[in-house]
A and B are shown apart, each in its own frame.
Chain A
Amino acid sequence: MSETSVITRIEPSRAWLGLGLGDLWRYRELLYFLTWRDVKVRYKQTAIGVFWAVLQPALTTVIFAVVFSQVARFESKSLPYPLYVLSGMLPWLFVYNAITFAANSLVGNTNLVTKVYFPRLIVPLAAVLAGLIDLALGFLILVGVMFWYGVHLTAQIALTPLFLLLSVLVALAFGTLFSALNVRFRDVKFALPFVLQVWMFVSPIFYPLDILSERARFVIALNPLTGVLHGFRASLFGEQFNSQVIAISLIGTILLLILSLFVFRNMEDSFADEI
């Protein structure tokens, strides 16, 4: 593959012109290798390794199931409550971990950013994609738990990947934004856990949407995760979709993603100087 005739022009940064997706495509193999590295390295030097991917949602589910079914007495209409919590915990933990890893990805790869060129977007992207392995493992566990509770699978389960894809977009939107901000403002490292904690409580992970008033439900629907959680559960358990909630979430996520990419592209030229 000779690119001898290709002329690259190097000049001062200009205002954002495009997403640079062409460049990203040329470097797709690097994205593959960095994702593969992040997967390989994630559980290195841990005693129980990838088992954490299962243990994390399982333990949180047990804790929330016990606390909220005993104390707050939340109930989910037709579903066993622990199954309801687990089905929310999976996409949430994926988003949570993906954003956390992505936010620290550029700063954690300083040696790459300052020593070699590639589209910087690849770094947070790889951090998000690496979490998909955990998500897949968790999904298998979830299906197992569904069988154990005797929940019948419907054809609608084929739609779950769509909502998991939406969760990837949510994670990407926030992950890329925070990764870029973290280069200039290390405040992100301290603020992010707090933000994520608040986010968890305003997402219908362990409480059903219908315990909320109509008004509160509308506000909660503005949270891009609401559509993800609702859509994921509805397709999983064969329930009716609320197209309004899903549409709000989808549009919100896409707008957020565009905003994040815009911020990222505008900051990326100075990463090597500021990191």
Chain B
Amino acid sequence: MRVIKAENLAKLYRLGGTRHNSLRDTLMEFVRFKRGDRHELWALDDVSFEVEDGVTLGIIGRNGAGKSTLLKILSRITKPTRGFAEIRGRVGSLLEVGTGFHNELSGRENIYLSGAILGMTRAEIQSKFDEIVAFSEIEKFIDTPVKHYSSGMYMRLAFAVASHLEPDILIVDEVLAVGDTAFQKKCLSKMRDVGKTGRTVLFVSHDMQAINRLCERTIWFKDGRIEQDGETSSVVGAYLHEQSLTGAERVWDDQAAAPGNEHARLRRIRIADESGSSVSSVDIRRPVFVEMTFDALNDKKVLIPNFHFYNDQGVCLFVSHDWSDEWRRTPRRQGTYVARMKIPGNFLAEGSVFVTAAVSTYEPFEIHFVERETIVFTVVDSPDGDTARGDYAGQLHGVVRPLMDWETEFKPKP
């Protein structure tokens, strides 16, 4: 039986104009019969697919490819701009850990509140209450306000509630990327049980192992469109293959085909070391330079280059803009610019770092081009003992790995 049918779904976001709205702006626009300069972005573009019941469907793609927008539309949080979707049965969506949790309320109260918000009836929550508490493993603190919980306890309780949802269609966004591994496994297997009992699960993740384990079918989104839709192993394979083709340098020789618009156009993005030569992997102790070469095509626009960094879990590490006084308010003269940003040594954690590069104008807001996760480089930690890792050889957590100053005060025993 078909439970989801999406046809030509599209979602347009108007950026800039709708942000920081004030009555004055709207009145001014109204009076002048014009809409402010707005940047339009098709987050989802002509997406059609169908899902049968009992299927666990994986959804993959880079950041900004439209995955979350799709989930929001199917969860009825936002409306599509075009197209439609038909959904048979009750939908439960987990787009966040602890949806509806209130810090001032106790664990017990939050189970009821969050359960109701996620779509359970009071009777359902009551009948499953003990099971939820047992699953969360926090019986002792069930009457403590959750603001006194550790983040681990908070997450356990939140997942316990979420895992006991019994909708016909369960929509899960990336939320499993956090939490300790053992508990994650417990939730994944609970989810799998849900899939086995004839329910449909839509699962968005950057974790290809989890996708492989859980989903028989996977859709790969790219720039708001479906790139591939099929058996998980082949789609994930194709996706990983494309990821692996991502190099540490990209050059656009044909300027007509290069990313950009009438104001700015991209020429080249690369990773360089201190000597200025292109590299694809860097020593964690050494600084690394991210460099973008672009053309300003007229003398009109203030152009702000910016980089966004993601790890291989799709977690955004940080974003950086060139806010220097020189370029912040001054329109750029026509010509070619090389913008170089330095990431200090002993800052990034080891592993792959994906770089999204963009040039934008902020007043009014406009994106001239954005190349998502277009290059990648690897940060390599050192066994020499002079990094944050020290003498520890095991797995180190954290998205950054700075070398911190430590001080010790010592009073000898008299």
Residues of A within 8 A of B (CB): 1, 3-13, 29-30, 32-34, 37, 40-41, 44-45, 111-118, 184-187, 269-270, 272-274
Contacts and interface: CB of A to CB of B under 8 A. Distances in A.
Contacts of B75: 116-117
25 contacts: A7-B88, A8-B76, A8-B88, A9-B84, A9-B86, A10-B73, A10-B74, A11-B80, A11-B84, A12-B80, A12-B81, A29-B116, A30-B116, A32-B116, A33-B117, A41-B104, A111-B99, A111-B100, A114-B77, A115-B99, A116-B93, A186-B22, A187-B23, A270-B78, A273-B18
A116 B118 contact: yes
B122 interface: yes
Interface of B: 13, 18, 21-23, 26, 72-91, 93, 95-96, 99-100, 102, 104-105, 109, 112-113, 116-118, 121-122, 168
B11 to A, nearest CB: 9
Contacts of A113: 77
B13 A33 contact: no
Contacts of B90: 3-4, 6
Contacts of B81: 12
A129 to B, nearest CB: 15
B82 A184 contact: no
Contacts of A115: 77, 93, 95-96, 99
Contacts of B76: 8, 10, 117
B86 A116 contact: no
B22 A187 contact: yes
A29 B85 CA distance: 27
A13 B86 contact: no
Contact of A40 (B89, B99, B105, B122): B105
A30 B334 CA distance: 58
Contacts of B109: 37, 40
A3 B75 CA distance: 16
Contacts of A34: 113
Given A115-B77, A270-B79, A272-B72, 11 more contacts: A4-B88, A4-B168, A5-B88, A8-B91, A10-B79, A116-B95, A116-B118, A117-B91, A118-B117, A184-B21, A273-B78
Given A9-B84, A37-B105, A117 B23 contact: no
Nearest to B120: A29
Nearest to A191: B23
Which 8 A-B residue pairings sit nearest by Cβ, starting from the closest?
A117-B76, A11-B84, A33-B116, A44-B104, A10-B85, A115-B96, A187-B23, A272-B78
A117 B77 contact: yes
A269 B118 CA distance: 19
A113 B78 CA distance: 10
Contacts of A11: 79-80, 83-85
Contact of A10 (B23, B87, B113, B121): B87
A274 B105 contact: no
Nearest to B100: A112
Contacts of B23: 185, 187
A212 B332 CA distance: 67
Contacts of A187: 22-23
